[in-house]
Structure 1
Amino acid sequence: MKMLLFFFAIQFFLAIYQVIKLHNLTKANRKTREKKLSILRKNERLLHTAYLSVENFTKSRSLPPSLSNLPLAEKEGIVLDVKIFHFPLFTPPYNASIGISEGRHYLFFRYDFPLFGHGFPFSISNIGSVQLDQDLNPLEKTFCKIRTNSPFSEDPRFFQHGKENYLIYSDIHSHSKDVRGLRIGALNLKEQKLDYITPLHHQFQKVEKNWTPFSHSGKIHFVYEIGRQKILSLSDPQKDSLESFPSLLFSSSSWSSRWGILRGGTPALLVEKEYLSFFHSSFEDHLGIIWYVMGAFTFEAFPPFKMTRISPYPILFKGIYDTLHQPMANPKVRSIYPAGFVLKDERDSLLVSCGENDSGIKLVTLSKDKLLASLQPADTMCNRPLYAEHDSRIGCWAAFGE
């Protein structure tokens, strides 16, 4: 009997030893794999930095074929100025939304902090704000973190409804970090905080983001789907009480399918008796690089808010995509990401705040009249090839709020 117990004890300890050995081996393999991935990403960033340095030295900028034959907006008189926004944070701010309240300019943005020691490095995301001076430079002492009670808040949009200021932003759901939804918060600029936060549980897909907010007839509205103009309305921002307008029949658009599906960007403002907003779309080139581009569209100032006009091709400008990637940014993404705009210079020009390469902010000044004149009717251009040297297919696209 004792020999039998001794035998079982030996077998038990051997089993434990094998489990521990297998666990340590798996852990070592995972660390090796994560180290290789980290080195690979570091090398990609170094190659991208060298690539941009060569381009800056040679004064040339390489764009994919679907963009390289398009005119720069400066030559068309649309873009008047591009200001690189500098602000000393531990990590660069990006995806900024500009707004005006009581005559002061504010910038709301995302900034990330990398975390290590948990295997492959990841980051937490925060929302910050800063007041700007007359030259659109940051007043550093006014910087503050907007507390959202979450370390995963992303991509704020500032907008006004009535006399109130609001932020809408993306955040994870409490039950799953892989599911993201939109939250709206009443912004108290004097105390630099959100007075309340309301989760909006309109979950048609796993990741909800890039809704286009606007104010109309005492209610907050969102363009959830550009093109068909799927509109959501919110009568009380303190309650999750979204209502949906009936969608329009599928409307055509002059935006080519080669530039990707239309997604929301800036809040919409009334300009020349119509709502104006800037959107983004993205596509992948033959080298596996993902390019984000931006354009503008207008829609009617009354229900059902039908789209009226749209950019026929992406708005490009000198120096676009030249922001160096920060360590946590994907070096294979070239992005321009409009998230806010205001009227300036006695309403003759527009100031658009854009994130670039998930690593910086650019403030782009556009001529209001030139921009509006460049837009094409949204329902008559479907079969007309515009700048389609490499791809003559013109797509009629609708886009969900992702």
Structure 2
Amino acid sequence: MTHPPRAASGARLVIPSASLIPSTWMAAQPPEGFYVFNPAIIQLRKRLLMAYRVDFGRSLPARQRTACALCLLDANLQVETGSVVALSDTITDGGANHYDPRFLTVGDRLFVHYNNNWDTTPNQIFLVELDPDTLEAKHPARPLFFDGQRQPVEKNWMLFAHEGDLFAIYRIEPHIVLRLDIDMSGAVHCRPAYRVAWDATRYGARYGELRGGAPPVRVGDRYVALFHSRTAPRGRMNTSAPATIATVNRTGWFRAVKRWLRERLDPLRYFGGVYEFAATPPFAPTYLRPEPLLHPDAEERPHRPTAAHLTPRRVVYPSGLVRLADGAWLVSYGVHDERAVLRVFACHEIEGGAETSPSGVAS
């Protein structure tokens, strides 16, 4: 792409899934059997790249049904003909399943990192360097190794390069930053670097805990990043219910009725939000948008049941953020685990001001 993307603020574009599926994967099943979602974007060498997750539905065993692909987008945010790359087919030593890719650049080097979901416990995040010309894996995948207490599944580390060093946002509240060493071969060792306490409880009480999303983008003296959060259904049946009720609860027809009601009345909801942090260590948070930028109920309802989750849910899942030449922002995100969406926001919709800065204490 030789020109910057052209799109008006507020424009929302759903990328047709069929245009994103590598031709070599079409032999597995017809296009309508795939689920394509959670796109990440980045600008490199005057090109707009997009990586995304492809679920093969239920046509393959559970441990062989999720992969990543890449493509180029033109100035009108359309998939460039012949640009789709079956990224997962070029990755070695990176596990069987590749979930939710995100981009990283370190100087002129291009990387993708992804996770293996529940394939291992704890799960694993992998970093893969790409050839910027072919967009294929350049070297074997490298696991990120954190010698510390971890959750069973951690999918949403946000990697960013700063002044020649590589860091990852490990947790948003408190703001925990890891330092990564990619100079050696093999596993990438990640060590705690900074921790800043700050208060995001008001947002979290309404929309859920702040979790990782789109990797940070530097704007002057600060970084802008997108995160996701989620709220659980309120009406789940008590797990300590009497045996007779528990037995009914396990029957197929009753579960189907519950799913139908929950889908319409009280589904799990994911939101997309914005926060900023200083572009100097210890990277203290400076701004939290008080309301979500992305709301699941603002999107078209799910078209079909998803293969990724049995629990009904309404999802917006931010994975990419690019600042355009005119100051507007291009956001890429997944919707309901079934589609990839691009949306343009005005500068003031993304970037914050000092009057709403949260307090933070470096420790």
* TM-score (ref. length: structure 1): 0.68
Indicate yes or no: 2:173 matched with 1:231.
Answer: no
Deviations 1:250-305 (A, max 9, x none): 54454141311000000101114210000000012334511000110000101110
Computing the radius of gyration over CA atoms, which structure comes out larger, 1 or 2? 1
CA distance in 2, matches of 1:332, 1:370: 30
Indicate yes or no: 2:214 matched with 1:266.
Answer: yes
Q: Aligned to 2:214, what secondary structure does the other structure show?
A: coil
Match of 2:91 in 1: 148
Indicate yes or no: 2:130 matched with 1:187.
Answer: yes
Where does 1:2-401 land on structure 2 (aligned, <5 Å)?
Answer: 80-88=10-18, 89=21, 90=31, 91-116=34-59, 124-146=65-87, 147-149=90-92, 150-171=95-116, 177-196=120-139, 197-202=141-146, 204-236=150-182, 238=185, 239-252=187-200, 254-286=202-234, 287=262, 288-316=266-294, 319-325=298-304, 327-330=306-309, 332-344=312-324, 346-373=325-352, 376-379=356-359
What is the letter of the counterpart of residue 357 of structure 1?
Answer: H
Q: CA deviation at 1:152?
A: 0.9
CA distance in 1, matches of 2:117, 2:329: 33
The verdict on how the C-alpha distance between 1:370 and 1:250 changes in structure 2, with shifts beyond 3 A counting, is: closer
What is the letter of the counterpart of residue 137 of structure 2?
Answer: L
Match of 1:29 in 2: none
Q: Conserved in 1, the CA contact under 8 Å of 2:211 and 2:229?
A: yes
Q: Conserved in 2, the CA contact under 8 Å of 1:219 and 1:236?
A: no
What is the letter of the counterpart of residue 154 of structure 1?
Answer: Y
CA distance in 2, matches of 1:79, 1:373: 17
* TM-score (ref. length: structure 2): 0.75
Q: Conserved in 2, the CA contact under 8 Å of 1:112 and 1:124?
A: yes
What is the letter of the counterpart of residue 204 of structure 1?
Answer: R
Deviations 1:38-60 (A, max 9, x none): xxxxxxxxxxxxxxxxxxxxxxx
What is the letter of the counterpart of residue 341 of structure 1?
Answer: L
What is the letter of the counterpart of residue 318 of structure 2?
Answer: P
The verdict on how the C-alpha distance between 1:185 and 1:142 changes in structure 2, with shifts beyond 3 A counting, is: same
Q: CA deviation at 1:316?
A: 4.1
Q: Conserved in 1, the CA contact under 8 Å of 2:288 and 2:352?
A: no
Question: How many residue pairs are counted as aligned between the two chains?
Answer: 298
Q: CA deviation at 1:106?
A: 1.1
CA distance in 1, matches of 2:60, 2:272: 37
Q: CA deviation at 1:227?
A: 2.5
Q: CA deviation at 1:185?
A: 1.1
CA distance in 1, matches of 2:292, 2:112: 27
CA distance in 2, matches of 1:253, 1:302: 24
Cα RMSD after superposing both structures: 2.5
Match of 2:246 in 1: none
CA distance in 1, matches of 2:109, 2:281: 23
CA distance in 1, matches of 2:134, 2:125: 23
CA distance in 2, matches of 1:298, 1:246: 16
CA distance in 2, matches of 1:201, 1:359: 31
For structure 1, the residue ranges without an aligned partner over 5 or more in a row are: 1-77, 381-402
CA distance in 2, matches of 1:246, 1:195: 31
Q: Conserved in 2, the CA contact under 8 Å of 1:156 and 1:169?
A: yes
Q: Conserved in 1, the CA contact under 8 Å of 2:17 and 2:340?
A: no
Q: Aligned to 2:151, what secondary structure does the other structure show?
A: coil
Q: Conserved in 2, the CA contact under 8 Å of 1:276 and 1:297?
A: yes
Q: Aligned to 1:114, what secondary structure does the other structure show?
A: coil
For structure 2, the residue ranges without an aligned partner over 5 or more in a row are: 1-7, 22-30, 235-261
Q: CA deviation at 1:117?
A: 8.1
Q: Conserved in 2, the CA contact under 8 Å of 1:260 and 1:281?
A: yes
Q: Conserved in 2, the CA contact under 8 Å of 1:226 and 1:264?
A: yes
Match of 1:32 in 2: none
Q: Conserved in 2, the CA contact under 8 Å of 1:165 and 1:187?
A: yes
Q: Conserved in 2, the CA contact under 8 Å of 1:321 and 1:357?
A: no
Q: Conserved in 2, the CA contact under 8 Å of 1:325 and 1:357?
A: no
Stretch moving more, 335-344 or 197-206 = 197-206
What is the letter of the counterpart of residue 306 of structure 1?
Answer: A
CA distance in 1, matches of 2:350, 2:336: 24
Deviations 1:362-399 (A, max 9, x none): 1010111343247832229xxxxxxxxxxxxxxxxxxx
What is the letter of the counterpart of residue 288 of structure 2?
Answer: I
